[in-house]
Amino acid sequence: MDDDMIKIQLTIGNNPFPLTIPRKEEETVRKAAKKVDNLTNAYKEHYPELPEVRILQMVAYQLSLEGLKEKVRNETTPYTEKIQELAQLVNERINQ
């Protein structure tokens, strides 16, 4: 096994998941598993009548929504394009 890779075992919802991951990602991977567990437990407490599959669908939806919102928040293309446009205008004025 590559020195940068490690084998870990995550437990999510009492289910073991053996993984081989880059060593530098271990903390992030464990935090992600803990977040899934925390969300699952919170939904189970709030909606005890729902079957587990529905709970997991709600968790998947929430995490997906958070990821998409973060992606939109970090989208810098419009700003980069505007900066390039302004830089071009400045260069044109300088070269006149």
* Residue boundaries of the structural domains of the chain: 5-94
pLDDT computed for residue 79 by the predictor: 73
DSSP string, the chain: --TTEEEEEEEETTEEEEEEEEGGGHHHHHHHHHHHHHHHHHHHHH-TTS-HHHHHHHHHHHHHHHHHHHHHHT--HHHHHHHHHHHHHHHHHHT-
pLDDT by 10-residue block (mean), the chain, 96 residues:
84 92 96 95 96 94 92 76 81 79
pTM: 0.69
